Chain A
Amino acid sequence: MVDVVTFLDITISGIGLGALYALVAMGFALIYKVTGVLNFAQGELALVGAYGVVILGTSSLISTPLPAVAAVGATILFGIILGILLERVIFRQFIGEPVLSVIIVTLALGGIFSGFIRFLLGPNYRSYPEALTFGFSIDLPLGTSISAAYALAVSLALVVVIALMLFFRYTVTGSILRAAASDEQAAMVLGVSIERTIALAWALSIGITAIGGVLLAMSSGGAGFSIVATGIIIFAAVVFGGLDSIPGAFIGAIIVGLLQELGSFYLEGGSAITAPIIDVKLNFGAGFGEILPLIFLLVVIVVKPYGLFGTERIERL
């Protein structure tokens, strides 16, 4: 029997997780929309963000750590600079190269980032500075409750997502980005500097991804290498949303977060529910929650490859 309060609890934390994934997914969709690069290193970039706070804000590497909030700010700034650097140094070389080259380059970048972090800090879980972890939890109506760090991370994620939506809708820079994404040539004719726009898109994308990484780590109290798995899970979100649609990425991320939380609660371990007709306990073993979005991804690719809001491409000879 499914308990309503538990179900609500799981649903809320699922939506929260989705909001956290949404940041990373939107970073991916933004870059794909503007430059056509499929960034397979999103998970590792989120990892860079998550460990950036560990490096700057705790005394594991540097002797005088920054205050927690300054460390978060510096990490986000670092993400933005990293985005510009990546565009300048690496991705500019690969404009017009086949899809394979770009995919492999992003995979290699992922290897570089995770290897370097492993070199600096080792493979172990690192907890965040105390100012970013909270011991108490917040009570919600109907007897559900979530921990404060999680609530803060999720509400910050929602704030960033809404700010981004407003940015794209109401500012000139946002319009320029949308213009460059929908038709590069026409935007160029109208006087948009594509070079600057692409650099801006990279900076924004990696910046958002770094924020996503920091918040993902914050929601669990510290940074661990499991964040890398975000890189593949967000594909489920982005493909379902339609690859080049930013609101689609957001909706997809929420659904994927829900699937993951519900899957890991109801389909594995002790709380596994029983299938209604065949009367079999649905226990697929530990870690099934993270696999469920991938199965969802495969189903989406087979059934509806262009997603909810994606533009279907018509091929001509």
Chain B
Amino acid sequence: MPCGEYFTSYESRMGLFRWRIQRVALVLALPIPFILPMLGLGGGNISLLSQMFIFAIAVLGLNVILGYAGEIVLAQGAFMAIGAYATSRMLTTGVGLLPSMVVGGLMAALVAVAFGLPSFRVKGFYIAISTLALQFISEWFFNNSRAEWIHGGSQQQISSDIGLIGPLGDLGGDLTIYYLALVAMLLFAMLSLNLSRTGIGRTFRAVHENDLAAAVLGVNVFKNKLLAFAIGGFMIGFSGGLYAFYIGFISPDYFTLALTLEHYVMLLFGGLGRVWGALIGVGVVTILQDILQSILQSVSAATGLNATSLVSVFFGMIIIIVLAVEPKGVLAALGQLKEYLRKWPYAY
């Protein structure tokens, strides 16, 4: 706590930005992503940043289910695929991108709730297994030509010439996806932050820490788990729709188990259950992945080996090392470092 500042009311104690330095940082930092494209950042970097924002929404959704409510969901790819395909189907009706993405999110939330139903009787790894089964079923389903009347073709082009709502707000420009993703990410980050400090978030955490104790204290464990599935599923599905629009093409190959694992790396690297951790994790891991890809691609080109398949090897190693060294993530490690430096040279 900084010197000379006191909380005089409950509202200021529970505020999102509690200290003067945080407010200053907010005012100074918030405009940066908005003016970044005007500073002459290249198209590739803008695209990378857009992808970062889109994945951040999905990881925040995962954070709601896994970090807050503690349910291990291994169907990130499936939820994003459902969001993406639902969005694509809705776009053909001409309602515009935003309603389509909302429908995509709702579809994903529906499936998430359906697969959360077993949590009435079982918990923990049973949910992990059933959602992993969902991942495989969804990959089969979206590749299946017999189910075309539902998903509308396993590979689809998405036109970028659509409006935000109906025909209004043309999204044809280069930077629109960047701003769209940025605003959506900020909104969902706000939602997650607010969720974690309201009663719902506290209930989720109680269920996470000890669901039996929570049930004894009168929390409806089953209802709260389903609520977490619904909120998280909606965010992941929404991000799936946005991702589909960002790429402009959807194929089941984009939504595999590898995507799930990638989002887990991001969330666990940043720190489970912390919004800022999730955002930092997404940023660091996306940049790292981009650098790694380009290095491995040049290695492949130089030696003729298919070195690009080593990406999953590196990510596997990162995730194991992070979990072994600091299971709480990099944000907790930074906090410890700060504390150490504050007390240095006397550790008391």
Residue of B nearest to A233 (CB): B136
CB within 8 Å for A104 and B66 given contacts A115-B310, A287-B140 = no
Indicate if the CB atoms of B118 and A302 lie closer than 8 Å.
Answer: yes
Indicate if the CB atoms of B144 and A302 lie closer than 8 Å.
Answer: no
CB within 8 Å for A99 and B121 given contacts A112-B312, A118-B309, A315-B212 = no
Instruction: Give A134 Cβ to nearest chain B Cβ, in Å.
Output: 32
Which residues of chain B are near A297, meaning CB under 8 Å? Answer: 129-130, 133
CB of B159 within 8 A of chain A?
A: no
Indicate if the CB atoms of A94 and B140 lie closer than 8 Å.
Answer: no
Instruction: Give A293 Cβ to nearest chain B Cβ, in Å.
Output: 9
Indicate if the CB atoms of B311 and A115 lie closer than 8 Å.
Answer: yes
CB of B261 within 8 A of chain A?
A: yes
| Chain B, range 103-133, C-beta contacts under 8 Å to A | 117-118, 121-122, 124-126, 128-130, 132-133
* Complex: A18 Cα to B305 Cα, angstroms: 37
* Complex: A239 Cα to B128 Cα, angstroms: 12
Interface residues on A, range: 35 or more
CB of A111 within 8 A of chain B?
A: yes
Indicate if the CB atoms of A235 and B316 lie closer than 8 Å.
Answer: no
Indicate if the CB atoms of A115 and B129 lie closer than 8 Å.
Answer: no
Which of B3-11, B53-61, B161-169, B319-327 faces chain A? B319-327
Which residues of chain B are near A290, meaning CB under 8 Å? Answer: 136, 140
Instruction: Give B148 Cβ to nearest chain A Cβ, in Å.
Output: 9
CB of B19 within 8 A of chain A?
A: no
Which residues of chain A are near B146, meaning CB under 8 Å? Answer: 283-285
CB of B1 within 8 A of chain A?
A: no
CB of A100 within 8 A of chain B?
A: yes
| Chain B, range 287-339, C-beta contacts under 8 Å to A | 305-307, 309-313, 315-317, 319-320, 323-324, 327
**Which residues of B approach A to under 8 Å, CB–CB?**
66, 72, 74, 117-118, 121-122, 124-126, 128-130, 132-133, 136-137, 140, 143-147, 210, 212-213, 216, 258, 261, 264, 268, 272, 305-307, 309-313, 315-317, 319-320, 323-324, 327
Residue of A nearest to B211 (CB): A315
Instruction: Give B58 Cβ to nearest chain A Cβ, in Å.
Output: 17
CB of A229 within 8 A of chain B?
A: yes
Which residues of chain A are near B121, meaning CB under 8 Å? Answer: 302, 305
Of the listed residues B121, B129, B210, B312, the one surrounded by the most CB atoms of chain A closer than 10 A to its CB is: B129
Which residues of chain B are near A291, meaning CB under 8 Å? Answer: 136-137, 140
* Complex: A235 Cα to B122 Cα, angstroms: 15
* Complex: A232 Cα to B257 Cα, angstroms: 12
CB of A103 within 8 A of chain B?
A: yes
* Complex: A287 Cα to B138 Cα, angstroms: 12
* Complex: A84 Cα to B118 Cα, angstroms: 35
Indicate if the CB atoms of B130 and A301 lie closer than 8 Å.
Answer: yes
Instruction: Give A231 Cβ to nearest chain B Cβ, in Å.
Output: 9
CB within 8 Å for A112 and B212 given contacts A103-B72, A297-B133 = no
* Complex: A155 Cα to B258 Cα, angstroms: 35
CB within 8 Å for A287 and B319 given contacts A294-B137, A301-B130 = no
Indicate if the CB atoms of A107 and B129 lie closer than 8 Å.
Answer: no
Indicate if the CB atoms of B319 and A105 lie closer than 8 Å.
Answer: yes
Which residues of chain B are near A108, meaning CB under 8 Å? Answer: 261, 315-317, 319-320
Known contacts A232-B133, A284-B144, A295-B137; 10 additional CB pairs below 8 A are A99-B72, A100-B66, A101-B327, A108-B320, A111-B312, A115-B313, A119-B310, A235-B133, A305-B126, A317-B216
Indicate if the CB atoms of A109 and B316 lie closer than 8 Å.
Answer: yes
Which residues of chain B are near A63, meaning CB under 8 Å? Answer: none
Which residues of chain A are near B315, meaning CB under 8 Å? Answer: 108, 111
Indicate if the CB atoms of A116 and B313 lie closer than 8 Å.
Answer: yes
Indicate if the CB atoms of B324 and A94 lie closer than 8 Å.
Answer: yes
Indicate if the CB atoms of A119 and B313 lie closer than 8 Å.
Answer: yes
Indicate if the CB atoms of B306 and A118 lie closer than 8 Å.
Answer: yes
Indicate if the CB atoms of A115 and B316 lie closer than 8 Å.
Answer: yes
CB within 8 Å for A122 and B316 given contacts A97-B327, A100-B72, A285-B147 = no
Chain A 301-317: CB-based contact to B (< 8 A → 1; otherwise 0): 11001000000000111
Indicate if the CB atoms of A111 and B261 lie closer than 8 Å.
Answer: yes
Instruction: Give A269 Cβ to nearest chain B Cβ, in Å.
Output: 10
Of the listed residues A40, A104, A295, the one surrounded by the most CB atoms of chain B closer than 10 A to its CB is: A104
Indicate if the CB atoms of A115 and B144 lie closer than 8 Å.
Answer: no
Which residues of chain B are near A162, meaning CB under 8 Å? Answer: none
Indicate if the CB atoms of A99 and B130 lie closer than 8 Å.
Answer: no
CB of A286 within 8 A of chain B?
A: yes
* Complex: A122 Cα to B308 Cα, angstroms: 11
Chain A 152-187: CB-based contact to B (< 8 A → 1; otherwise 0): 000000000000000000000000000000000000
Which residues of chain B are near A287, meaning CB under 8 Å? Answer: 140, 143-144
Instruction: Give B255 Cβ to nearest chain A Cβ, in Å.
Output: 16
* Complex: A315 Cα to B221 Cα, angstroms: 15
- A-B residue pairs in contact (CB < 8 Å), sample of 6: A100-B66, A111-B313, A235-B132, A295-B137, A305-B126, A315-B212
Indicate if the CB atoms of B122 and A301 lie closer than 8 Å.
Answer: yes
CB of A114 within 8 A of chain B?
A: yes
Indicate if the CB atoms of B320 and A105 lie closer than 8 Å.
Answer: yes
Instruction: Give A164 Cβ to nearest chain B Cβ, in Å.
Output: 24
Which residues of chain A are near B118, meaning CB under 8 Å? Answer: 298, 301-302, 305
Instruction: Give B347 Cβ to nearest chain A Cβ, in Å.
Output: 25
Residue of A nearest to B260 (CB): A107
Indicate if the CB atoms of A103 and B125 lie closer than 8 Å.
Answer: yes
